[in-house]
Chain A
Amino acid sequence: MSIRERLSGNEAAAIAMKQINPDVVAAFPITPSTEIPQYFSTFVANGTVDTEFVAVESEHSAMSACIGAQAAGARAMTATSANGLSLMWEMIYIASSLRLPIVLSLVNRAVSGPLNIHNDHSDAMGVRDAGWIMLFSENNQEAYDNTLMAHRIAEHKDVMLPLMICQDGFITSHSIENIELEEDEKVKEFVGKYQPEHYLLNREEPIAVGPLDLQAYLFEHKAQQAEAMKNAKKVILEVSEEFEKMTGRKYGLFEEYKLDDAEIAIVCMNSTAGTTKYVVDKLREQGIKAGLLKVRVYRPFPVDEIADALSHLKAVAILDKADSLNAAGGALFEDVTSAMYVKEKYVPAVNYVYGIGGRDTKADDIEGVYNDLSEIAKTGKVENPYRYFGLRKEAK
């Protein structure tokens, strides 16, 4: 039986980590993810977990310590946000290229500057090509569930890649909401023990980790990382299916909400998907065939599946909570439209950059997007595919 609780997103992530009881947690505090290592360190102090908690002096060191621990043969976790992730950046690539299945809880926040502590996805988008599996979470429940599934996915022998679980800073990290927790024993059994194939502390098999890798083989090693990322898709689905058997909560590569018979739809990630569901329900009552595709697995990007799921629409809007500042649309927009082009599925598509630096995403804003989509659906034409919503008018 699941346990009915109420927790913030940060509490949910910390509880998941407690139940996983990793060998090592190395972290440096940064808003809005600070509470995760803070709560976790109390579990360490109280003896509820037997994790080695490394209170490092920077995020670069946090990721370095995780890399060292994981390479030694331990299971390592960390948490960060925004500039913390920026400072990890060098080590983020090293973690994935060394094929170390480290798990990171990323509480999404705007990367400076100017300084801003609130939510957008610019931190996550900055590492989208770093070779990490990236799962996005609509609410505290999904942050918890994704964390429980993380090690099974990352540590799978066909994958062996680090994984980050994203959730929206403050919006879900600091909001108390209902949640269903699983019993400690069930989680322990589900997550299982980490049994690395090759590790530094194995005296039977002395290995070198991270040596020089020049023209002769780096290319092949990168191709292997890419292959592992492809494999991850299948593993994510298998683990999610097993998770559903335990909890009754179903997860795929993405969630389709009233999308089957929809004529217009929004594609988005994290908490905005919840607000979009609220608007979809309202529009459906008015007879408007609105739908939603919520991306859960952003890396690997489910190109074929997303292209298929959107192909019947008359118009689609892709919402980016980070501006790529490239004069060509946000990252999610590029991913979705490129997937559709390659699959030869044409649907008029429009991109909205929104919610930057914590600008609140209102139900009215989302309704405005659906209104625009209704217009686009009528004519099949998109006047300007690169748009904003929620931006102050005088700024334009």
Chain B
Amino acid sequence: MENLIEIRWHGRGGQGAKTASLLLADAAFNTGKYIQGFPEYGPERMGAPITAYNRISSSPITIHSNIYEPDYVVVVDDSLLESVDVTAGLKETGAIVINTTKSAEYLKEVLKGYKGEVYTIDARKISEEALGKYFPNTPMLAAIVKVSKIMTDEELLEDMKGSFKHKFAKKPEVIEGNMKALEMALKEVKKI
């Protein structure tokens, strides 16, 4: 499988990690890729840890297992860092993107010596500023696109504009805020 990129999402039920993985699949599909987007279904309830996955490739994808050695990991909720082994199997040539304001020292400790790149973003601040509410999935989507370079910033913004128009057809007032959240996140995700 040529250029296969595997991504694992960690979030809590209700934060939209599953939706973010589906939006990422959608956006990558629109740039001509082969994609998979699927959550690991369990007894979902609000606040419970959930996992979702993406595979993105320039050739057809046949494998249908969960992802055990991801290129990238996205952590939507930093309270998971101490309870879930988020770097399990994560390739050292890859990266982890965390929604957090915690210190680099703390992250180093909870990531158990992960040697790949670590990126952080304050998705709460971005979301509250852009949307007036805490929906971390939109900024996290932009952050993983920026870090993984699956597509350019412009491709993402262009595609998401179309998706939001469709998704929020009944509440167009939130489109602008979501677009702003994406733009801010693309600028604010940083390597530590």
Contact = CB atoms under 8 A, between A and B. Distances in A.
Determine if chain A interacts with chain B: yes
Interface string B1-35: 10000000000000000000010011001000011
B151 to A, nearest CB: 15
Given A6-B25, A6-B29, A176 B65 contact: no
A59 B181 CA distance: 46
Contact of B68 (A117, A139, A362): A362
A168 B41 CA distance: 13
A283 to B, nearest CB: 14
B12 to A, nearest CB: 19
Contact of B36 (A118, A138, A177, A272): A177
B65 A178 contact: no
Interface stretch (A13-21, A37-45, A225-233, A273-281): A273-281
B37 A178 contact: no
Interface stretch (B56-64, B78-86, B96-104): B56-64
A174 B39 contact: yes
A362 B63 CA distance: 9
A146 B64 CA distance: 19
B35 A274 contact: no
Contacts of A138: 62
A364 B41 CA distance: 21
Given A6-B25, A278-B1, A271 B35 contact: no
A175 interface: yes
A360 interface: yes
Contact of B38 (A175, A278, A361): A175
A5 to B, nearest CB: 9
Given A275-B65, A362-B65, A363-B65, A170 B41 contact: yes
A204 to B, nearest CB: 50
Contact of A277 (B36, B62, B68): B62
A88 to B, nearest CB: 24
A68 B143 CA distance: 55
B148 interface: no
A178 B62 contact: no
B22 A118 contact: no
A362 B64 CA distance: 8
A172 B66 CA distance: 12
B38 A275 contact: no
A361 B63 CA distance: 10
Nearest to B41: A170
Contact of B35 (A139, A178, A278): A178
A215 to B, nearest CB: 49
Given A274-B64, A275-B62, A278-B63, A174 B38 contact: yes
Given A274-B62, A274-B63, A277-B62, A176 B41 contact: no
A178 B63 contact: no
B169 to A, nearest CB: 14
Interface in A334-391: 360-364
Contact of B64 (A118, A272, A364): A272
Nearest to A361: B65
A144 to B, nearest CB: 15
Contacts of A139: 62, 64
B150 to A, nearest CB: 15
Nearest to A362: B65
Contact of B63 (A117, A118, A176, A363): A363
20 contacts: A6-B29, A118-B41, A170-B38, A170-B41, A171-B64, A174-B41, A175-B38, A176-B22, A176-B25, A176-B37, A177-B35, A178-B29, A178-B35, A275-B65, A278-B1, A360-B65, A360-B66, A362-B65, A362-B66, A363-B65
Interface of A: 6, 117-118, 138-139, 168, 170-172, 174-178, 271-272, 274-275, 277-278, 360-364
Closest 10 CB pairs of A and B: A175-B38, A274-B62, A271-B64, A278-B63, A176-B37, A6-B29, A277-B62, A274-B64, A362-B65, A360-B66
